[in-house]
């Protein structure tokens, strides 16, 4: 059986962080390097609320692809999904099921192809 590896990360970047944004970006780079060493074949998915963090900078610093192209809060794309390779065939922005001024992002893939997958997760220090 061909078991595929996936690493899923969720990130919330506050609009008024208590940390320096550069520190977060440096830590992300270090974490991505470590994942590349430990799980070189893994598909990486990073998602979350990135607020004022530039989409361009995130792609540049992580090497990931940004797949959300529609606004998620008013006219801004704050809630995003980044992937190491294209795995999602449909990305939808929908009204959130919970009380929020953000819309939800739903990403679909070919479910049949991804039934046999191996997940890795951990809490990463910032």
Q: How far apart (Å, rounded) are the C-alpha atoms in residues 91 and 79?
A: 12
Strands 90-94 and 117-120: unpaired
Question: Containing domain of residue 32, as a range?
Answer: 4-120
pLDDT block averages, 10 residues each, the chain of length 126: 82 95 95 93 96 96 96 95 94 90 88 52 49
Question: Does a structural domain hold residue 125?
Answer: no
Strands 4-12 and 43-49: parallel
Q: Mapping DSSP to helix (H, G, I), strand (E, B) and coil, where does residue 74 land?
A: coil
Q: Mapping DSSP to helix (H, G, I), strand (E, B) and coil, where does residue 81 land?
A: strand
Q: Mapping DSSP to helix (H, G, I), strand (E, B) and coil, where does residue 55 land?
A: helix
Query: Considering its fold, how many domains does the chain have in total?
Result: 1
pLDDT for the residue 6: 92
């Amino acid at each position: 059986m061909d078991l595929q590896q996936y690493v899923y990360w969720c990130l919330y970047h506050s609009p008024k962080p208590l940390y320096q944004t550069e520190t977060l970006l440096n830590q992300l780079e270090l974490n991505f390097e470590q994942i590349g060493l430990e799980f070189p074949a893994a598909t990486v998915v990073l998602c979350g609320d990135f607020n004022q963090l530039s989409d361009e900078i995130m792609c540049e610093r992580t090497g990931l692809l940004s797949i959300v192209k529609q606004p998620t809060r008013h006219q801004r794309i704050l809630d995003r999904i980044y992937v190491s390779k294209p795995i999602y065939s449909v990305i939808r922005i929908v009204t959130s099921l919970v009380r929020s001024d953000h819309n939800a992002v739903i990403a679909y893939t070919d479910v049949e192809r991804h039934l046999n997958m191996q997940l890795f997760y951990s809490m990463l220090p910032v």
